[in-house]
Amino acid sequence: MRYDLDDLRLFSHIVAEGSITGGASRMHLSLPSASARVRSLEHHAGVALLVRGRRGVRPTPAGTALARHAREVLARAALLESSIASYSRPPTAPLTLLGGGSAMHRLVPQALISFLRAHPDVDVTVAESRTPQTVRKLADGEAELGIVLDDEARDCGLRLDPLGDDSLVVIGQPGGVLAGRTSVSYSEVAEHPLVGLDVDSSLRRWIEKHAGPHAPVPRYRTTVVDLGVLVSLAAAGVGLAVVPRRAIDPHRRLDVCELQDPWARRRHLLAWGVTDLAAATATAALAEHLHHAVHAEPAVRTG
């Protein structure tokens, strides 16, 4: 059986979104067209790939296998295109990738490792940037890609693709004040001694902006510039910490609680800038590696 790359890309988006409608939107297809493509895939495969329900779809075991291999095929296809395009692309023009501190902690490094190994002729400039600044730079053509937060980037006029969860959780020493808890409000968290990032960090600004004026004023025992150091301090019992879930090593012994506040549920989007044609193929390849890095991240459980 021959697989069409656009069909594989569509199926990957459907699985990521949990709905055919969401996958169709990411591919800029109508719902009937996307549904027809999925039915054609299932017909040629000779097996059901999706379980359809009232709240969306989920992959069957065969669909899970297809989605996994599809991501690998798409990444290799992007590598092929980028390798050929690199011969006509000026070697002195690196791609620019922007993102907040949360993305820079684990997601971006993992994507860069695989991308730079696969694309020895393409350089990447990486810089930490808060969502408003990232959107502006992308619109001005100063960067090719940016990882932004959903509620700060809506209606910005740029192409936005869902990237992954960036929800905030509370962490503390195993067996400490969070023991036996699965969720807690920020107001309660702020009544305990905390450790946090420095005042100029994007995460610290996000928390202070959304917690509101009525939240208790937290006592920070210390502030640091690195998320990894922050997690280590919390694990050692110095204080509680509010961090993105993706910043936590799932193998580390920690008590992890959901934050009950609605503002703690965040989503990362991949925003595309206005780039020249010479950089378009390499940009698409970097985007594929970012998506692949999201799916490769292990899950962290609360409680």
- Domain range for 270 is 90-164+266-296
- Average pLDDT for residues 130-137, to the nearest whole number? 91
Residues 63 and 129 in one domain: no
> How many domains does one find in the chain?
3
Where residue 181 sits, what CATH number does that domain have?
Answer: 3.40.190.10
Q: Read off the pLDDT of residues 93-118 as tens digits, 9 standing for 90 and up.
A: 789 999 988 888 888 999 999 999 99
Residues 141 and 281 in one domain: yes
Residues 258 and 179 in one domain: yes
Q: Where are the alpha helices (DSSP H) in 106-190?
A: 107-118, 131-139, 150-153, 186-189
pLDDT of 120 over the 70 cut: yes
Residues 25 and 103 in one domain: no
**CA-CA distances (angstroms) from residue 145 to 12, 94, 265?**
20, 12, 23
The DSSP bridge pattern shows strands 56-59 and 50-53 to be: antiparallel
Asked whether the beta carbons of 202 and 128 are under 8 A apart, the reply is: yes
Residues 152 and 175 in one domain: no
Measured distance CA(51)–CA(107) in Å, rounded: 30
Residues 158 and 292 in one domain: yes
24 part of a folded domain: yes
pLDDT at position 157 is 83
Residues 149 and 175 in one domain: no
Measured distance CA(79)–CA(62) in Å, rounded: 26
**CA-CA distances (angstroms) from residue 120 to 79, 124, 180, 234, 254?**
11, 11, 48, 39, 38
In terms of residues, how long is the chain?
303
175 part of a folded domain: yes
pLDDT at position 109 is 93
Q: Read off the pLDDT of residues 200-245 as tens digits, 9 standing for 90 and up.
A: 888 888 888 888 778 888 999 999 988 889 999 999 999 999 999 8
pTM, to two decimals: 0.65
Q: What percent of the chain has pLDDT over 70?
A: 92
84 part of a folded domain: no
Q: Read off the pLDDT of residues 240-282 as tens digits, 9 standing for 90 and up.
A: 999 998 888 888 899 999 999 999 999 999 999 876 655 688 8
Measured distance CA(7)–CA(115) in Å, rounded: 23
302 part of a folded domain: no
- 124 beta partners: 95
